[in-house]
Chain A
Amino acid sequence: NAGVTQTPKFQVLKTGQSMTLQCAQDMNHEYMSWYRQDPGMGLRLIHYSVGAGITDQGEVPNGYNVSRSTTEDFPLRLLSAAPSQTSVYFCASSYWTGIGSYEQYFGPGTRLTVT
């Protein structure tokens, strides 16, 4: 299994440009999520999905869109990049093994710089 893969690993954008961060998992997990990690702050949830066709907003959704057309893929779209979106982005997939117990796997991250 490849686990959770993310592309690209690095990206530099100009303000106003749009792009899509790709995320894929081959573990057939229902739950997938996108986080951003900024210096001095904990990981913050951007959007998440509980299954194909179902997405919801997390803590910091503004400026981002997601879709989940398949179980495997969960792309994150930046509509019009802003310097405040400079961050490291992590995709994760998880599944619940029982009440109060789940397993979560993270992708390697995408380091995005917006100039």
Chain B
Amino acid sequence: KNEVEQSPQNLTAQEGEFITINCSYSVGISALHWLQQHPGGGIVSLFMLSSGKKKHGRLIATINIQEKHSSLHITASHPRDSAVYICAAVEDTDKLIFGTGTRLQVFP
């Protein structure tokens, strides 16, 4: 069974800092999904990637298939980035294995 681990579990930052959240998985996957869960509980999909790098605004996601590792970077962090960031390994069709999330707090 695929094990998905995220680090760190909790992260605090000052506004403007560069943030990195890591995700590793144990078994080969077809894709890696990054999601954001707002303090109110809503979950939003950020990225789905199977290779290389994707960028959306200040968010960058990378994946290294050989090392079974993905990172989510936030440049110029802002308090509104405060949320729980979740990665999920996409094994097949609709079968996702979720990490436990990284709670990020960005202070002004």
B106 within 8 A of A: no
| Number of A-B pairs, beta carbon distance below 8 Å | 60
Which residue of B has the minimal Cβ distance to A98? B50
In this complex, the interface size class of chain B, counting residues with CB under 8 Å from chain A, is: 20 to 34
Chain B contact residues: helix, strand, loop or mixed: strand
Other-chain residue from B4, B48, B100 in contact with A102 (beta carbon distance below 8 A)? B48
**8 Å CB interface, A92-115 against B:** 94, 96, 99-106, 108-109, 111
B94 adjacent to A31 (CB under 8 Å) = yes
**B residues apposed to A, CB below 8 Å:** 4, 30-31, 33, 35, 41-45, 48, 50, 86, 88, 90, 93-101
**A residues apposed to B, CB below 8 Å:** 31, 33, 35, 40-45, 48, 50, 58, 88, 90, 94, 96, 99-106, 108-109, 111
Name 18 interchain pairs, CB-CB below 8 A, sorted by A: A31-B94, A42-B88, A42-B98, A42-B101, A50-B94, A99-B30, A100-B31, A100-B90, A101-B48, A102-B31, A104-B45, A106-B35, A106-B42, A106-B44, A108-B41, A108-B42, A109-B41, A109-B42
